[in-house]
Structure 1
Amino acid sequence: MKKRYVYLLIIFNLCFLRNLSGQGITPSSIIGVWQVSTIKKGSTLLAHYQFFKDGKFIYNFNGYDDRGRITSAEGLYKLTGNKLLLYIKSRNELTGGELVQGIEGFQQEEIVLKNTKTIKISQASKEPIELIIEPCKMKNSIKCMKVQNNVYYQISKNPELK
């Protein structure tokens, strides 16, 4: 009887531990492209992360923002429990250009930047940005995760593809 009880306890613990590990974000499960708010893609993407196997990340700002000067941030990431640590090494910014009228029906804003040049700026601070990350419930096998207050959906398992 004791043996049977021990076996049942071991099986219960293994199942329980498997369920717990399946609920978290792991280094392998985060690899890919993750877009904020929706799985739908358009002519460009909303804000999105690209997480690579080698620990590199790129955060791309909303592609529909035709006035913002920062387009992306690059660096290294590390997962520690439910914390995503982002070590930013550089950012890409638009410089120059001129404000012009946005194209009606195509661009979201009435006034947009045009004829800009992209420059890379190194990050002086070595302190990581620390974000809370957790999985969210999946529907129809769509992967999603919550980062701080935003929900991101995996739109590609390959971080090179968008």
Structure 2
Amino acid sequence: MEFDEERVALYETILDELSPPDGEAVSSAHFEKELELENAYQAIEDLIRLGELEIVNTNCGHVRVRLQKPVPSSTPSTRLEDFSENTVWLAYIVSGSSPRQRRAQRLFQNFEVGEEHLANISHTDSLAQVPGLEDVWCEEVKGLSTEYAILRKEYVFEQADDPWP
């Protein structure tokens, strides 16, 4: 994944279009056709790999995506206003060819242990923070196929939590 200024701006445009989160899925066609964003599909795939978006449905060559997790909102209907509790670091390796293909997913209480885990299983040197995304770190895994080591802060939902207002 290349994190040049153009790609980061594309990430921000896509994420802004999906915020504030309401749980509604948006088609990738919306970004390509209605917003006329070039390379929108590749940016959406990157955001799926990085864990920012989740696929809700696929049809006719397009995917419907939504934010993978809600963000704190000022609206009174949002029950999850503070994500500082119940957060962990999610470490995983994701395929460069298929954004949904993950392996070695583990949860860790702190960043350093998650980074060490990824270094041990993927021979990564040091993760770099993804520009424009808070609490997401990435490095390309050296090997025969293209893979990425991802370490991101993740909210762990409890049974009573309603992620979508």
Structure 1 or 2: more strand by fraction: 1
Bigger Rg, which one: 1
Structure 1 or 2: more helix by fraction: 2
Tell me the TM-score range normalised by the shorter chain.
Answer: under 0.3
TM-score in terms of structure 1 length = 0.22
